Structure 1
Amino acid sequence: MNNHEIDYKLYGDDMQFVEVELDPDETVIAEAGSLMMMDDQIRMETIFGDGSSKQGSGIMGKLIGAGKRLVTGESLFMTTFTNEGTGKKHVSFASPYPGKIIPMDLSELDGKLICQKDAFLAAAKGVSVGVELQRRIGTGFFGGEGFIMQKLEGDGLAFVHAGGTIHRRDLKPGEVLRVDTGCLVAMTGNVDYNIEFVGGIKTALFGGEGLFFATLRGPGTVWVQSLPFSRLASRVFAAAPQRAGSESKGEGSIAGGLFDLLGGDRK
């Protein structure tokens, strides 16, 4: 066992946070900015990459680890939290948007998990956060996640977050599941991942479901989210005021509509 063995507890329903319990000298790594709260005598340190032994101890290994995180759209830095006290201490991390936190025991997933680029939240020290390149051209261009996805490797515990409700699906050998490209959260390394055209010009142009979907072929395990952050953001943007100064006029209220109708100015 190369990873630190940590205990945890999840709180909340749709806006969750995870509380990690650290024994003396145990360490957890997390995305920069995900900290919610922590006990006294926990030392916080910012590092390049993920701090795993796979990066190597030299400066070049650290730069490579940080570079991998950069191409996945994440920060160059991660943060470690180490219990320097004599008893058990707790540190908590929160999701960046509404959804669920999924505990992933990599020792039960053949040591490898592939997930969307912004899914990783925190993990036991020793878990490697790397890059998974999509080798198929179609998957890279139309897969919703581009050529690059996150790859978590090790035998420890990792926490992945996603939007809405999370559904786990265990695929049998040869079983196929078609998923909206934005709804795919994570999959085990043995799942065959490809992209297919929806089919039919009318369906593609007017169906409202996009031109492509992900085809996942078992055996393996897949996690799917009901509300991708991109879908949530697009709905929020569509409902937001589109004109400068509309907030000051109270758009959406009766008074605001009356002033717009009469062409009045509140200044």
Structure 2
Amino acid sequence: MKAIIAGTTMPVLELTLDAGERIIAEGGDVSWLTPGFDIQTSTAFGSGGRGGFMSGLKRMVGGGQLFLTQYTAQAPGSFVAFAAQLPGTIRELAIDPQDQFMVQSGAYMASTPDVEVSVGLQKKLGAGIFGGAGVVFQKLAGNGTAWVQLAGEIVEYDLQAGQSLLIHPGHLALYRAEMPLEFASIKGIKNKFFGDSLFLAQLHGPGHVWLQSMTPAKLAAAIEPYLPEKSSSDNN
């Protein structure tokens, strides 16, 4: 299998497979592909070989899809491509029992068959945060390779034992699964949802963290003034 990440602001992940090789992804995310793939959809895909309906249900709770799609190449040189949904970057992650990751909901793009995609963390932060959905992270475990899309520019930190970082939850894109994560209310910063305190994620080392400069919520707020207003006839 050969992976190419092409483009800059809105990158594309192109995966070229040999005959018999497989890739797992959320079905609606495919952008283009060569003819001849054997395509199947099941709740068992994305479970690292250990799942069925319950694995799909856990994945859906984590912000993913109940059903994932498996693309199996029938001829060498077959390729399938997935385009990023937001301006940013695509990262490749090597997954094994020592290297497991937590990724913000919606960032998962594709993976090899033995990678398990499940809910890793779900935290309610109040009705005003993320539309009331709270913070949701998916866990990438098992063995294989996964690709994730991160929004905006990416800043990385290596936290040592005893170090921690306070992060706005929307900017926390990806971190190693063994790192403890808490949520803290920080006094002294005005916040329209929590009065005189700001709710932040506190991530503890040791481990590596990827922070994204763009959040979907901020992007939506930036373009909202330019969207056409709905007229009464639109509701009929």
User: How far, CA to CA, are the matches of 1:203 and 1:66 in structure 2?
Assistant: 40
Classify the secondary structure of the residue corresponding to 2:114: coil
Does residue 89 of structure 2 align to residue 100 of structure 1?
yes
Does residue 71 of structure 2 align to residue 75 of structure 1?
no
Structure-1 residue corresponding to 2:38: 43
Structure-1 residue corresponding to 2:140: 152
Structure 1 pair 113–227 and aligned structure 2 pair: CA distance change class (3 A) = same
Identity %: 30
Alpha carbons 2:187, 2:197 under 8 Å: kept: no
Q: Give per-residue Cα distances to partners, 1:36-77, cap 9 Å, x unaligned.
A: 12123322222224343121xxxxxx1102211221233221
User: How far, CA to CA, are the matches of 1:46 and 1:241 in structure 2?
Assistant: 37
Determine which structure has the larger helix proportion and give its number: 1
Alpha carbons 1:38, 1:91 under 8 Å: kept: yes
User: How far, CA to CA, are the matches of 1:123 and 1:179 in structure 2?
Assistant: 27
Alpha carbons 1:29, 1:124 under 8 Å: kept: yes
Equivalent residue letter for 1:141 = L
Structure-2 residue corresponding to 1:250: none
Does residue 125 of structure 2 align to residue 141 of structure 1?
yes
Does residue 116 of structure 2 align to residue 128 of structure 1?
yes
TM-score, normalised relative to structure 2: 0.85
- Give how far 1:203 is off: 3.3
Structure-2 residue corresponding to 1:261: none
User: How far, CA to CA, are the matches of 1:100 and 1:210 in structure 2?
Assistant: 32
Bigger CA radius of gyration: 1
Equivalent residue letter for 1:53 = G
**Residue correspondences, number:** 227
Structure-1 residue corresponding to 2:214: 227
- Which ranges of structure 2 fall in alignment gaps of 5 or more residues? none
Does residue 106 of structure 2 align to residue 110 of structure 1?
no
User: How far, CA to CA, are the matches of 1:147 and 1:232 in structure 2?
Assistant: 17
- Which ranges of structure 1 fall in alignment gaps of 5 or more residues? 1-5, 56-61, 246-267
Determine which structure has the larger strand proportion and give its number: 2
Alpha carbons 1:49, 1:69 under 8 Å: kept: no
User: How far, CA to CA, are the matches of 2:68 and 2:24 in structure 1?
Assistant: 7
- Give how far 1:165 is off: 1.1
- Give how far 1:125 is off: 1.1
Alpha carbons 2:24, 2:112 under 8 Å: kept: yes
Structure 1 pair 177–32 and aligned structure 2 pair: CA distance change class (3 A) = same
Of stretches 164-173 and 8-17 in structure 1, the one that deviates more from structure 2 is 164-173
CA RMSD of aligned residues (A): 2.6
Alpha carbons 1:190, 1:218 under 8 Å: kept: no
TM-score, normalised relative to structure 1: 0.76
- Give how far 1:141 is off: 3.1
Structure-2 residue corresponding to 1:10: 5
- Give how far 1:147 is off: 6.4
**Aligned to 1:53, which of 40, 49, 54?**
49
